[in-house]
Amino acid sequence: MKNMIRFILLLLLQVFVLNKVLIHEFVNPYIYILFILLLPFNLPRAALLFCALLMGLSLDAFMNTMGMHAAACVLIAYIRPFMINILSPQGGFEATQKAPSVTTMGWAPFALYAAVLVLIHHIAYFSLEVFGFSNWVYLLLKILLSSAVSFGLIMLYEMLFYPRAGK
Amino acid sequence: MRNLIIFIRRYFNFFLFLVIEIICLILVFRHNLYQRAAFLNSSNKLSGDLYRHYNDVQYYFHLRITNDSLAHENARLRNQLLADFSLKDTSGEKIMTIKDSTGERKYRYITAKVVNNSVNTLMNYLTIERGSKDSIAPNMGVISSNGVVGIVRSVSDHYAVVLSLLHKDTRISARLTRSGNFGSVRWDGRNPEMATLTDIPRNVKVYRGDSVVTSGYSTIFPENILIGYVEGFTEQKASNFHTIRIRLATNFYKLQYVYVIDNLMGEEQKLLEQSAPHE
């Protein structure tokens, strides 16, 4: 339920706020992937993939990108469990906590987790977007700057909701 | 066989991922699928309506500039009225009275409200509040009161998605007004105010400030619709063509109303061109 609300809120935030704000030609932050990052630990992998597909296609429907966001989302949804495995302490997160967040994972692991997945998503998405445009400097700058801004926004979101998660 | 099943069950997630990913990539690369899958773009009912509500609010902030551009256009059209010219020459009278037997209507303009527009990605689209019920069809040209905007990509009942000029795949056949040479305009993905005109031979003299207009060769746009003005050009030694930077006439930031152009003879021209033998 909480995830459904987050799904809708993040979609609306992405489509009507972030896509409308002109920051710079190289900076297109995508914060909606936070939905995938924050899904519960114990969700089966297949369900994770379908949730990511649904989110990606919804955003594609608004942005006319036809499968590009979906492809990038499914990719990070597939990689997510591996990332969690690498970062998890002995015994894993599943036993004690429900979903990834700063409180359950700690600052550094969560930041690493978010940064890697954001970077992978942005690499996949912008490569598809730039496909056939052949300008490596442009692509690289766009990936790096957009990832930095997206990552900043995701950490900001976590900080805003950090106290509540601690209760 | 049993081993195969065990193998598949063991790597079920990987195969599921592979299947979903391939479906997504098919969607990305099959461009012709785009027009049929209208539910997957912003002309669908839900996103179209949401964008319309959003635009209802946003619209007020652009009222002044919308008004200005409409007033300018009215003035320009008024200046073309025949009644405003004093015709001393009798030949002028004649022109007015001659009824051209071939004067069949070729282009029809349909106004449309822009409900969504983006300028900040490599692939920008507009959503307009006119659809197949208003006789909009794919491949119709779209212009604003200032200049060319884009080409209709897909339609639903009440909305249509327009491929903006600010899209990496858009190519528009263009002509330099002073020299009359033809080229092609595309967007370089950077600045939403600038575009590039290519395919103009190097021996042609290019003037700064010269206007670039549509050529009228394609069935999409009528002739002489403004695209932009020449801002500057570079001569690459290796190439036989100029690369001309043009400043776009349309302000894509504040687009509110556009005209969709229905070429009533387009179908005929296309059929004829297809039936002509290619060597």
What's chain A's Rg over C-alpha atoms?
16
- Alpha-carbon span B183 to B172, nearest angstrom: 9
Shortest Cα distance, chain A CAs vs residue B27, angstroms? 5
Give which of A49, A64, A133 to mutate to test B binding, by max B Cβ within 10 Å. Answer: A64
Name the residue among B162, B167, B164 with its Cα closest to residue B127. Answer: B162
pLDDT at A93 over 70: no
Q: Which long-range contacts (CB under 8 A, 24 or more apart) does A140-145 make?
A: A141/A26, A142/A26, A142/A28, A143/A119, A145/A24, A145/A26, A145/A27
- What are the boundaries of each domain within chain B? 2-36, 37-83+98-279
- Per the CB < 8 A criterion, the answer to whether B170 and B187 are in contact is yes
279 residues of chain B, pLDDT tens digit each: 788 888 887 888 888 888 988 888 888 877 655 555 556 677 777 888 888 888 888 888 888 888 888 888 888 888 777 766 666 655 555 445 445 556 677 888 999 999 988 888 888 899 999 988 888 988 899 999 889 999 998 888 889 999 999 988 888 999 999 988 899 999 988 888 999 998 888 888 888 889 999 998 888 898 889 999 999 887 777 778 888 999 999 988 888 899 999 988 888 888 888 887 765
Confidence of residue A94 (pLDDT cuts 50, 70, 90): low
CA triple B93-B96-B98, angle to 5 deg: 105
Per-residue pLDDT tens digits for B94-113: 445 445 556 677 888 999 99
Q: What is the ipTM of this complex?
A: 0.79
A115: its two tokens: 């940064």
Q: 3.40.50.720, 2.40.10.340, 3.60.130.10, 3.40.50.10070: which CATH number matches B37-83+98-279? A: 2.40.10.340
- Does B63 touch chain A if contact means CB atoms closer than 8 Å? no
Question: Does the CB of B10 have a partner CB in chain A at under 8 Å?
Answer: no
What residue in A sits closest to B13 (Cα-Cα)?
A46
pTM: 0.82
Residue A137 touches partner B, C-beta closer than 8 Å: no
Model confidence band, residue A138 (pLDDT cutoffs 50, 70, 90): confident
Question: Could you count the other beta carbons within 10 Å of the beta carbon of residue B14?
Answer: 12
- Summarised one tens digit per residue, pLDDT across range B186-224 is 998 888 899 999 888 888 888 888 999 999 888 889 888
Taken in order of first residue, the domains within chain A and their CATH numbers are 2-166 (1.10.1760)
